[in-house]
Amino acid sequence: MFKKGITLTIIMLSLLFFITACNTENTGNSDSDNEAAEETSGSETEEESNELPKAELSKMDQGEAVQTLQEFLNEIGYSLTTDGKFDDATTWAVTDFQLQQENLQVIGVYNEETKEAIKKVLSAGDEVEVGAGLTQEVEASTSDEETNVLANPYDQLALVNKQNALPSDYDPDDLVVPDVRFPFTEDLPKKQMRKVAADALEELFQAADEAGLDLVAQSGYRSYGRQDAIFASNASQHGEEAANQFSAQPGESEHQTGLTMDVTTPSINNELTTEFGDTDEGKWIEEHAANYGFIIRYPEGKEEITEYQYEPWHLRYVGEKSAQEIMSEEITLEEYLGAE
């Protein structure tokens, strides 16, 4: 009996030792697996950091994605400060690159199409000819010594006002006629917008239609020469000082960017008046325009900053992200860009 007890104890101890050894061995394998997983994860993270950013990026953006973009732009020939700030220099580089490619919208915004074009240059081991698309040199000013000429008129967020003018020879080459209602049938240049803005305007009008509203587009692109004639006529009628409050001098009109459209409604005889802001269409525009990338460029109460009267009809395309920030914060483009 005593011997049987000893034998049973030995067997139980042996089983306990075996189970403990197995558990220890399994735990060791798990640690190894975890280390391997960590190594794999680290490898994937490193690989991802060596890829072009996936998100769309534009002026005013900041962060690691912008820094990564700057590093890749430098790899193909540019000399940007890799500080993670999508500033004027980065916008210029993106614009210059876009101008040298085929079938890219030239708006200074890093998007999927631009990403694929950069990848092609990188995979071919090529470099771009820096400045071949958009020179960094520009005349210092217009005839007005206090007005600068924009070096990058293609910029989707180009600030055009009484201090910053477009070059007299700037004429967007991607102008199209948006498929929206106009109160006239003539094929006039003022029906046109740059394609990125025209596409967005079509979406805005479709949404307004679905809301039971009646919007019409009144005036879009306007050349430097046409603006010169308009301002001269207004100055002749009202005097230059008065004309400056509601009419831009040539080069200082947002209409020349091709990113602007004046809108109205038949209920006010398709006129461009402040009364538009009180219509159902005007109220809807104020609330929803940003969803389609547009802002009311000259809002009420901001006349000292914009230097123009309140114009609820004047829509400017800046892209959805910027538009939503500007409209939700109830600020102007000047304030958004820190230029007020």
Please classify residue 254 by burial: count the beta carbons closer than 10 Å to its beta carbon, then call 0-12 exposed, 13-18 middle and 19+ buried: buried
177, 178, 181, 184 alpha-carbon torsion, rounded to 10°: -10
**Which residue in this structure is represented by tokens 């900053």?**
305
What are the domain boundaries of the chain?
50-137, 156-336
Vertex 277: Cα angle to 273 and 282 (nearest 5)? 115
The residue length of the chain stands at 340
CATH number (1.10.1740.10, 3.40.50.1100, 3.30.1380.10, 2.30.30.360) of 156-336 reads 3.30.1380.10
Question: Using the 8-state DSSP alphabet, how is residue 86 labeled?
Answer: -
pLDDT at 137: 66
pLDDT at 40: 39
* 3-state secondary structure at position 318: coil
pLDDT at 19: 42
Structure tokens of 39? 């190594």
Residues 68-76 have a mean pLDDT of: 98
Tell me how far apart the alpha carbons of residues 249 and 329 are, in angstroms, rounded to a whole number: 29
> Which sign, positive or negative, has the C-alpha torsion 27, 33, 34, 35?
positive
**Which residue in this structure is represented by tokens 């798990």?**
30
pLDDT in tens, 125-177: 999 999 999 997 654 444 456 789 999 999 999 999 999 999 999 999 999 99
pLDDT at 9: 43
Beta strands of the chain (E only): which ranges? Answer: 148-149, 164-165, 175-176, 193-194, 216-219, 260-264, 294-298, 311-317
Residues 44-71 have a mean pLDDT of: 84
pLDDT at 244: 81
- pTM of the predicted structure, to 2 decimals: 0.83
Distances in Å between the Cα of 145 and the Cα atoms of 84, 104, 141, 334 are 33, 35, 6, 20
pLDDT in tens, 247-294: 888 899 999 999 999 999 999 999 999 999 999 999 999 999 999 999
Tell me how far apart the alpha carbons of residues 230 and 234 are, in angstroms, rounded to a whole number: 6
Which residue(s) pair with 110 in the sheet?
57
Does CATH place domain 50-137 in 1.10.101.10?
Answer: yes
Helix %, strand %, coil % for the chain, to 5?
Answer: 50, 10, 40
For the chain, first and last CA: distance in Å?
Answer: 101
Q: Is the pLDDT of residue 322 over 90?
A: yes
Average pLDDT, rounded, for the chain = 87
